[in-house]
Amino acid sequence: MPLVYLAVRAGGAGPERVLQILSGPRTLELAMRSIGLAAAVTAACVVIGTGAAWLVVRTDIPRPRVFAVLLALPLAVPSYVAGFTWIAEAPGLAGFWGAFGVLTAVNFPYVLLPVAAALRSADAATEEVARSLGYGPLRVLATVTWAHVRPAATAGGLLVALYVLSDFGAVSLMRFETFTLGIYTSYRGTFDRTPAAVLGCVLVALAALVTWGEARARGRSAHRTSSGAPRPPSPVRLGRWKPVAVAALLGVVAISAGVPVLSLVRWTATGTDLDLGALAAATLTTFEVAALGAALTTVLAVPVGVLAARYRTRTVALLEAGTYVGHALPGITVGLALVFLGVRLVPGMYQQLPLLLVGYAVLFLPLAVGSVRTAVAAAPPRLEEVSRSLGHGRVATLFRVTLPLAAPGIAAGAALAALTIAKELPATLMLRPTGADTLAVELWQHTSVSEYAAAAPYAAALVILAVVPTLLLQRITGRPA
Amino acid sequence: MTGPALSVRGLRAGFPDHPDVLAGIDLEVPRGGLVAVLGASGGGKTTLLRVVAGFHPAAAGTVELGGRPVAGPGLHVPPERRRIGLVPQEGALFPHLTVADNVGFGLSRRERRGSRVAEMLELVGLAGFEERRPGELSGGQQQRVAVARALAAAPELVLLDEPFSALDAGLRSEVRDQVREALRAAGASAVLVTHDQQEALGCADLVAVLRDGRMVQTGTPQQIYREPADLGVARFVGEAVVLPGSLRNGCARTPIGMVPVASANGSGADESGSVLLRPEQLRASADPHAAGSATVREIVFHGADTTVVVELGDGLRVRCRQPDVPDVRPGDPVAVTVHGQARWFPETR
């Protein structure tokens, strides 16, 4: 809905104006930058993620479990927090290489985790057969093993590309102007908002393309044909390469997780003008919008999730697909679309809490629908049939059987949504009610005027808010948040 | 309420890609009776059960529960208004509720506070288990709670969907007896769907054999076993010895000699066909004169009885199941004698 309006708003200016913006040198430059950054980060993430996954899962590297946890940690660091720490430590990094480094450091686990899972599920037998047929170890790695993990690596890589395209925090702090930042500046800077709308549409189109590619990559993954439990392969002996491998992994961990943590500690310690009152207020605001947003998102997600899990009709599939389109929506475009929609339809809503909450719902509905659907699908339909046969109608059965059974999963989904909302930056920046600044907004505002010491406490609070529940959630649900 | 507990007439049902999973079924369950629907997997048993329960639409035909039509042309009563007690495979207890809440699930708030739940648990031999969680019960206990839950609301009909197949063999017969007793004590009418002929023959008043979407035979367990409608049913409900033969004047000439045949219409001319015997009708005994015509191939001792596998002159093998252990060894010549009458199935052209 907001998207349609965005398109209408963009088209409303007349085709010549749209064409003029589209073909303008600025658009081309932004596109080149966005696509170039996405391609570079994706390539780096695939190399680092796959390599690290192989080292952790398949070799005799010491303490693989510790490495597995450490390498997943960057997932919990919002890109703008990582960006803040990098720019605070080394202001000279601003620009392409800074943005590239930050985004690679926080995104490579999206490749690492699925590839590691694929490597763990690979059956040693196929690799052993290849060896016995005369293939050397490297050739086996390049043919059999890579064929097995390629779908996982591709899907993970496209996910990275999607996140890079829609990232706002890191690129804005690194002052590298991509689509997202371009949209924001042209929205803030001028009264003519047509360029922002047009750019928003282009960004959505790019993201949709990547999402489509990811879905295709995922659908083509090959499955093991033999039955029975796969036998884990014996680990590869690294021999004299072991110190090199350990050093490489430690380097990755140090850059991706170590730098933010150390930098935060340092800046928080040096920060003398700590305004506890403002910090508390921002934390409170963050909790408030996260809780309300998650509640609204979950309430909206329950009917869609239940329908999707239980009734596979075309309408439901369409409805579900509709919510999943949101997965590809950059926060900045959702924010923009809602601003237009709000100003036009309900002027009183602009920069009011309800509009912000709607924005969160649009952005994170897919997340919540996914958890509701999984939780409901895990509740056996047989139990619902028993309930029906015992005289309870559909609705009574939903409330007495299905929802109680799915409650833990739905609650976990709501917690995940709250967590993600707490970390959200661009939509919050555009839609927040005046004066109600979340931790992320405060951090961004201080950093963009180079007040690193003042920004640090907010970043630290965000990391604590983000990392601790993320680890807990990961433990409960067994999947990365 | 009048009429049988369940009456199914001309029922057709299926799926878009398999329209005739049920291709015209008739089934009647007398009040208080236990009818077993016996069929191989994929034969439409589960679909039949789901149509009766109201989870699957009937394409044609009618379903009546206690004389009340619940499915038919233009009629589909939703499952919650059919008064059916469903006992699915593995019980399917609500994991988030206690045993008492499970049993009381179909009762009104007032009934739940009364003594009905305790009575039902007593009926299935689980008095005192009220506050347990389903996860704390054994498979057999879960199944009995599921039966108590189905019986609590005094349903018109109880549907049991392979309720014992998930239990291990030792427990199965015990739980089966307990469940049958509970059904009898409650005076409930029930349909038991199963692919296990032992279960069907040993527990039901009537057995209906379902094959390829049709009821091929309905009768008492004895009728089904002794007078099967065709060789397929005969083989499905127990071990069968089928011999080629020709019939004349109520007697069939077979590789083991002349065999008396039950209820065959005596025609003057020879009629060729097959003779059906059960292994327990055959006895092998040492007979030096039978050399060349019947030889022992294998002897399997079961404890209570013994199976002797005998190879006939033309390579045909028959199994004799006899209470005694004959004094023979593999390779010895034997004579095979027949007890009782055989069933005759004329050759189909």
CB neighbour list of residue A349: distance below 8 Å, 6 or more residues apart: A342, A355
The residue type found at A190 is T
Within an 8 Å CB–CB cutoff, is residue B53 touching chain A?
Answer: yes
DSSP structure string for B58-84: -SEEEEEETTEEEEETTEE--GGGS-E
Per the CB < 8 A criterion, the answer to whether A181 and A168 are in contact is yes
Tell me the CA distances in angstroms from A107 to A83, A252, A262, one per residue in order: 13, 12, 19
Give the helix, strand, coil percentages of chain B, each rounded to 5.
25, 35, 40
Measured in angstroms, the CA of B208 and the nearest CA of chain A are apart by: 24
User: Angle at which helices A403-423 and A276-310 pack, to 10 degrees?
Assistant: 140
Encode pLDDT of A406-444 as tens digits: 888 888 888 878 888 888 888 888 888 877 788 888 888
- Cross-chain Cβ contact B105/A387 below 8 Å: yes
Which among B79, B89, B95 is the nearest to A389, CB-wise? B79
Within an 8 Å CB–CB cutoff, is residue A383 touching chain B?
Answer: yes
Helix (H) or strand (E) holding B9: strand B6-15
Cβ contacts (< 8 Å) between A385 and chain B: which residues?
Answer: 53, 55, 79, 86, 88
The interface predicted TM-score (ipTM) is 0.71
Q: Using 70 as the pLDDT threshold, list the residues of chain B that sit under it.
A: 1-2, 263-269, 291-292, 349
Which among A391, A397, A401 is the nearest to B153, CB-wise? A391
How is the beta sheet containing B60-65 ordered, strand by strand? B18-29, B6-15, B60-65, B68-72, B75-76
> Per DSSP, what are the bridge partners of residue B343?
B276
Domains in chain B, ordered, with CATH? 6-83+155-236 (3.40.50.300), 241-346 (2.40.50.140)
Residue of B202, B178, B206 lying closest to B190 (CA atoms): B206
Place of tokens 């589209």: A22
- Domain of A50 in residue numbering reads as 2-477
Per-residue pLDDT, A254: 82
CA B51, CA B55: separation in Å to the nearest integer?
Answer: 6
Per-residue pLDDT, A90: 78
Within an 8 Å CB–CB cutoff, is residue B61 touching chain A?
Answer: no
Q: Using 70 as the pLDDT threshold, list the residues of chain A that sit under it.
A: 1-17, 123-125, 134, 136, 190-192, 214-215, 217-234, 271-274, 312-328, 347-350, 467-481
Within an 8 Å CB–CB cutoff, is residue A314 touching chain B?
Answer: no
Cβ contacts (< 8 Å) between B86 and chain A: which residues?
Answer: 385-386, 389-390
Within an 8 Å CB–CB cutoff, is residue A389 touching chain B?
Answer: yes
Instruction: For residue A394, give the chain B residue with the closest CA.
Output: B80
CA A97, CA A99: separation in Å to the nearest integer?
Answer: 5
Helix (H) or strand (E) holding A208: helix A194-219
Instruction: For residue B56, give the chain A residue with the closest CA.
Output: A385
CA B205, CA B189: separation in Å to the nearest integer?
Answer: 11
Gap between the terminal Cα atoms of chain B: 48
CB neighbour list of residue A230: distance below 8 Å, 6 or more residues apart: A121, A122, A123, A124, A125, A224
Report residue B177 CA to chain centroid gap.
15
- Cross-chain Cβ contact B80/A392 below 8 Å: yes
Cβ contacts (< 8 Å) between A405 and chain B: which residues?
Answer: 94-96
The residue type found at A240 is R
Tokens of B30: 């007398």
Measured in angstroms, the CA of B292 and the nearest CA of chain A are apart by: 48
Per-residue pLDDT, A337: 80
Which among A383, A385, A388 is the nearest to B94, CB-wise? A383
CA B52, CA B35: separation in Å to the nearest integer?
Answer: 14
- State how many domains chain A has: 1
Per-residue pLDDT, A476: 55
Within an 8 Å CB–CB cutoff, is residue A92 touching chain B?
Answer: no
CA A250, CA B66: separation in Å to the nearest integer?
Answer: 75
User: Angle at which helices A25-58 and A179-189 pack, to 10 degrees?
Assistant: 140
What's the pTM?
A: 0.68
Per-residue pLDDT, B205: 92
Per the CB < 8 A criterion, the answer to whether A101 and A280 are in contact is no
Within an 8 Å CB–CB cutoff, is residue A393 touching chain B?
Answer: yes
Tokens of B115: 């003594």
Per-residue pLDDT, B191: 95
- Cross-chain Cβ contact A390/B95 below 8 Å: no
The residue type found at A248 is A
Which among A386, A391, A400 is the nearest to B92, CB-wise? A386
CATH number at residue A436: 1.10.3720.10
Give the CA diameter of chain B: 79
CA A432, CA A306: separation in Å to the nearest integer?
Answer: 31
Instruction: For residue A382, give the chain B residue with the closest CA.
Output: B92
Residue of B214, B157, B151, B154 lying closest to B6 (CA atoms): B157
Per the CB < 8 A criterion, the answer to whether B50 and A361 are in contact is no
- Cross-chain Cβ contact B149/A386 below 8 Å: yes
Q: Left (φ > 0), alpha (ψ -120 to 50) or beta: where does B54 sit? A: left
Encode pLDDT of A144-200 as tens digits: 778 778 878 887 888 888 888 888 888 888 888 888 888 888 777 766 677 777 777
The residue type found at A417 is A
CA B88, CA A354: separation in Å to the nearest integer?
Answer: 47
Per the CB < 8 A criterion, the answer to whether A447 and A435 are in contact is no
- Cross-chain Cβ contact A390/B81 below 8 Å: no
Per-residue pLDDT, B9: 94
CA A179, CA A176: separation in Å to the nearest integer?
Answer: 10
Instruction: For residue B158, give the chain A residue with the closest CA.
Output: A389
Q: Output Rg (C-alpha) for chain A, integer angstroms.
A: 24
CA A449, CA A466: separation in Å to the nearest integer?
Answer: 24
- In degrees rounded to 5, what are phi and psi of residue B135? -65, -20
Per-residue pLDDT, A469: 66
Tokens of A120: 């763990």
**DSSP code, position B342:** B
Within an 8 Å CB–CB cutoff, is residue A392 touching chain B?
Answer: yes
